[in-house]
Structure 1
Amino acid sequence: MDSSKQLGEERILHLIVKFSIPAIVGMLVNAIYNVVDRIFIGNFVGPEAFAGTIVAYPYMMIVIAFGMLIGIGATSLVSIRLGQNKRDEAERILGNGFSLLVITAILLSVVTFIFLEPILRAFGASDITLPYASEYLRIILFGFGFQLIGFGMNNFIRAEGRPSIAMKTMLIGAILNIILDAVFMIWFDMGIKGAALATVIAQFISMVWVLRYFFCELSLLKLKRENIPLRFDVVGGILSLGSAQFSIQLANSVITLLFNRSFGQYGGDLAISAFGVVNSLSVMILMPMFGINQGAQPIIGYNYGAKKYDRVKKALKLAILGATALSVLGFVLAQTVPEFLASFFSDSEEVTSSAAHGIRTFFLVFPIVGFQIISSNYFQATGKPKKAFFLSMSRQVIMLVPAILLLPKFFGVDGIWYAMPVADAISSVLTGVLLFRDIRALN
């Protein structure tokens, strides 16, 4: 059965599982790079070094945002050209995408090297955490190119319809990062330098594996020298189509930066470390939900276009149930064993105790988060990007930024912890209202 027929005829549950699992693995692998570093640093270096990596994290998210801008924008164009049977143009986009990734990596590395200390100060580094954050990021910046090229070019493998290969290339880097973290930090006792070096080496191997694909027989598209020079029309198309995901990822970075600065202002380095623990746990639970999101999108979109609205509603329902099951599990764990969860990231009793309190508060309305994430993506899948963008931003920016800025003025550090559940609750109500109206129109 070809891909079009399977989307319109195969059992919805089977499709959701088939399309979601590679996406879930990919999302988790992307998160593992930073989370594993934090676990090793928190346990084998100390809370100050752990806080240093948390300060550096928003900037690393900005680097990933540029990878999404180019990678997702270019692969969207590639998919269209392949659908039009224009393989030569698709390969030109592949070559231009590669060039953009290399140029962006060089520029980001140079800027970071020159302005490293002011950047980290702006992102919330204190006199205590600055040396650790600087030491970590100074090594990581040498891997910006590996990270951008590996992450960005991996999107082209998915565009060719080979999600399992794309998943494997990411797994190679993540598993290697875990092994090297253990070797450098436990065996060689290299501290935070070991964590950074492990990440850079793992990203390099992952990048080589991805690039190797485009020179082997398996690939439909080839990376050719004649397609490397940039063309303004191609570059414009790439940046235009990738700008939405870039904006969302950039917003995530800004939010993390605001959290770091607020926690630093009202609670100091200890509060930043605690937030790092909570944020790491949140990311690990949210990533599978975003994987379900990615898996459900083509199923909902295809059947909506085919006017098979019963299948649309069934796919939406199953995706919401799956994501809600994960969000409820996250809530239960957060409320019952927060100290146990926090202990993975630090052997400091102070950090663990503060993080446990933050986990309970941060996850207060988590059971409804799965619904909000899937439902806002429904509008993207059905060709209503404005509503989808508004709902995504309502949770991540529109409601959250005012909450982060205002609540601590009245409730101190607790006010910052309450910012996320407040934003989740309000954005979920907005999402529910818009979804109810849209589903009623389908009926």
Structure 2
Amino acid sequence: MSQTIVDEKEKQRHFILNENLWKVMAELSWPAIIAMVLYGLNTVISAVFVGRFVGETALAGVSLAYPLTQISIGLGSLIGVGAGAVLSIAIGRQDKNIQERLLGNVNVLSLIVTVVYMVLGLAFSMQLVKMMGGAGEVLLLGDIYFRITVMGAFFWIYGLAANMIVRAEGKMKSAAVMMGIGLIADVLANYLFVVVLDLGVEGSAWATNIGMLIYTLLGWIYFSQGFASFKTKTFSLCRDASLIKSILSLGASTLIMIVMTLVQGVVVFNVLAKYGTVSDIAFYGVVYRVFTFLLMPIIGLMRAMQPVVGINYGAGQYERVISSYKIFTVASVLLTVPFWIISMVAPEFVLGLMLPDQLFTGTQLMYFWIYMAVIPLLSAVFMAMTFFPSIDKGKPAAMIGITRQLIFYIPVMLILPQKIGVSGIYWGSLAIDAVIVLWTSIMVKREFTRLRTKDQPTTLSA
């Protein structure tokens, strides 16, 4: 490839294929991490405003509804991760035809899954929140929150999918700016609806929808104004069976992971309702949100790795694909550890952001420490969840999600709390994640061996 690249939009591809991987990681990761931290704050904002300005019962209701709202996130990720993987590989192979047809198929998928989700979500809202363990006032508040988020489902689904496609180009800065603007809108709307207008849980849900609407509008602007690195038809509708199949197969692992997380939520909250109190439900809801937020830097690096692995795989640079996984995983651990240490040293401060004026017991702090203990090691798992789809292999990533939640999590959560009570939730989670880290590492190592024995085409100059 010529050292002088005339087309500005080709520079990103050249950078990913040829530059030092540590430099590529650093260049792409910081905006991706910022984007995911901002996105993670979106999931915390509602809890902060509801917990501080509405009350513990309202927070318990929102906590019950939170796993259900992740269905829309899962559907957006299904489309976004799948389309992003297809796009990255197409960029690596310089397949302009697939690049041009991509958005039309994304639009069709977004509309279809939104309609199905809204019909089912609105029809069975109360039953779903009840299934999570809701009862009495907690059930009513959770139902209100969930129904309103379902009404804004298209913006949750398309907004996230569009942002993931932008990241798949390697345009992490653009994705981060979109996330930042959406977060500001979410915070301002929450303040207006919850604090100023005193609309409570209902106001917080509408505020979150507004943030997602902003994501969608920014995605449309990005694609329609020619900012994308590929030819786009922003509002086109295409139904290409082979392309849709690729998008769904490569994005399925992310949806499975999120659906399995919902199953986890159903089991855990029902266990808490059976063996614990409203305070236990609210506390677990806060711990889980902190846990999710601390994963955001890992997920940011994971998103940054996707175009690097996908584009290099599409170009046949398999050794560079392997090196990318290793470098991003190491960087993820190094980045996560400082934040993890802060949360472990000062848990009262972190938990107090959502449960103010509460004196946490020694038992609760122990639960928090147990649940957070394995976070640094999860880098290997999350990187693998992106690594496999990026090399056109969605099944191994799906296996990781299904094995963790279905084979391990449900049986452990049904049995262990019967023996040792609420603490079984926290100890069980720690043990399961430790096993999954080990198993995932073995799977990745085997894939490295396969890639190294694969016949390699002529690679681009390093």
- AA partner of residue 150 (structure 2): L
Unaligned runs of 5+ in 2: 4-10, 454-462
| 1:221 and 2:231 aligned | yes
Higher mean displacement: 130-139 or 318-327: 318-327
Shift of 1:78: 4.3
For residues 93-129 of structure 1, the C-alpha deviation after alignment (integer angstroms, 9 at most, x for no partner) is 3123213212322332232222221111112212130
Distance, in Å, in 2 between the alignment partners of 1:369 and 1:230 is 37
Shift of 1:308: 4.0
Shift of 1:249: 2.1
Shift of 1:351: 6.9
Match of 1:269 in 2: 278
Match of 1:97 in 2: 106
Unaligned runs of 5+ in 1: none
Match of 1:64 in 2: 73
Distance, in Å, in 1 between the alignment partners of 2:16 and 2:234 is 33
Matches within 5 A, 1:308-319: 308=319, 312-313=322-323, 315-319=324-328
Matches within 5 A, 1:238-257: 238-257=247-266
Shift of 1:26: 2.6
Distance, in Å, in 2 between the alignment partners of 1:82 and 1:281 is 36
Q: For 1:419, what is the secondary structure of its paired residue?
A: helix
- AA partner of residue 180 (structure 2): L
Higher mean displacement: 146-155 or 72-81: 72-81
Q: For 1:222, what is the secondary structure of its paired residue?
A: coil
Matches within 5 A, 1:6-405: 6-79=15-88, 87=96, 90-219=99-228, 220-223=230-233, 227-228=236-237, 230-299=239-308, 302=312, 305-306=316-317, 308=319, 312-313=322-323, 315-347=324-356, 349=358, 355-374=364-383, 386-405=395-414
Shift of 1:371: 4.2
Distance, in Å, in 1 between the alignment partners of 2:16 and 2:124 is 49
Relative to structure 1, the CA distance from residue 106 to residue 299 in structure 2 (aligned partners, 3 Å threshold; closer, same or farther) is closer
Shift of 1:198: 1.2
Shift of 1:234: 4.4
Distance, in Å, in 1 between the alignment partners of 2:304 and 2:380 is 15
TM-score norm. by structure 2 comes to 0.84
Higher mean displacement: 355-364 or 229-238: 229-238
Distance, in Å, in 1 between the alignment partners of 2:237 and 2:389 is 32
Higher mean displacement: 135-144 or 381-390: 381-390
Match of 2:458 in 1: none
Higher mean displacement: 126-135 or 213-222: 213-222
Relative to structure 1, the CA distance from residue 135 to residue 350 in structure 2 (aligned partners, 3 Å threshold; closer, same or farther) is farther
Match of 2:431 in 1: 422
Q: For 1:223, what is the secondary structure of its paired residue?
A: coil
For residues 13-57 of structure 1, the C-alpha deviation after alignment (integer angstroms, 9 at most, x for no partner) is 222111222322232233222211101111111111111111111
Judge conservation of contact 1:271–1:354 (CA < 8 Å) in 2.
Answer: no
Relative to structure 1, the CA distance from residue 190 to residue 393 in structure 2 (aligned partners, 3 Å threshold; closer, same or farther) is same
Distance, in Å, in 2 between the alignment partners of 1:374 and 1:130 is 36
Shift of 1:238: 3.2
TM-score norm. by structure 1 comes to 0.87
- AA partner of residue 50 (structure 1): L
Relative to structure 1, the CA distance from residue 350 to residue 259 in structure 2 (aligned partners, 3 Å threshold; closer, same or farther) is farther
Shift of 1:374: 3.9
Higher mean displacement: 82-91 or 414-423: 82-91
- AA partner of residue 20 (structure 1): S
Higher mean displacement: 25-34 or 55-64: 25-34
Higher mean displacement: 286-295 or 89-98: 89-98
Q: How many residues align?
A: 440
- AA partner of residue 306 (structure 1): Q
Judge conservation of contact 2:36–2:300 (CA < 8 Å) in 1.
Answer: yes
Judge conservation of contact 1:275–1:355 (CA < 8 Å) in 2.
Answer: no
Shift of 1:286: 0.8
Shift of 1:71: 2.7
Relative to structure 1, the CA distance from residue 147 to residue 126 in structure 2 (aligned partners, 3 Å threshold; closer, same or farther) is same
Q: For 1:345, what is the secondary structure of its paired residue?
A: coil
Distance, in Å, in 1 between the alignment partners of 2:449 and 2:100 is 43
For residues 212-257 of structure 1, the C-alpha deviation after alignment (integer angstroms, 9 at most, x for no partner) is 22321334433366x4254545444433332222222222222222
Higher mean displacement: 155-164 or 62-71: 155-164
Judge conservation of contact 1:47–1:351 (CA < 8 Å) in 2.
Answer: no
RMSD: 3.2
Distance, in Å, in 2 between the alignment partners of 1:8 and 1:348 is 52
Judge conservation of contact 2:105–2:238 (CA < 8 Å) in 1.
Answer: yes
Relative to structure 1, the CA distance from residue 375 to residue 360 in structure 2 (aligned partners, 3 Å threshold; closer, same or farther) is same
Shift of 1:363: 1.9
Higher mean displacement: 254-263 or 236-245: 236-245
For residues 303-353 of structure 1, the C-alpha deviation after alignment (integer angstroms, 9 at most, x for no partner) is 8943547x945x555433332234433543343221121100112526787
For residues 190-219 of structure 1, the C-alpha deviation after alignment (integer angstroms, 9 at most, x for no partner) is 211221121122222221221122321334
Judge conservation of contact 1:96–1:229 (CA < 8 Å) in 2.
Answer: yes
Higher mean displacement: 50-59 or 159-168: 159-168
- AA partner of residue 340 (structure 1): F
Judge conservation of contact 1:376–1:431 (CA < 8 Å) in 2.
Answer: no
Q: For 1:347, what is the secondary structure of its paired residue?
A: coil
Judge conservation of contact 1:334–1:359 (CA < 8 Å) in 2.
Answer: no
Relative to structure 1, the CA distance from residue 163 to residue 61 in structure 2 (aligned partners, 3 Å threshold; closer, same or farther) is same
Distance, in Å, in 1 between the alignment partners of 2:388 and 2:142 is 39
Distance, in Å, in 2 between the alignment partners of 1:401 and 1:176 is 37
Judge conservation of contact 1:400–1:420 (CA < 8 Å) in 2.
Answer: yes
Distance, in Å, in 2 between the alignment partners of 1:81 and 1:376 is 20
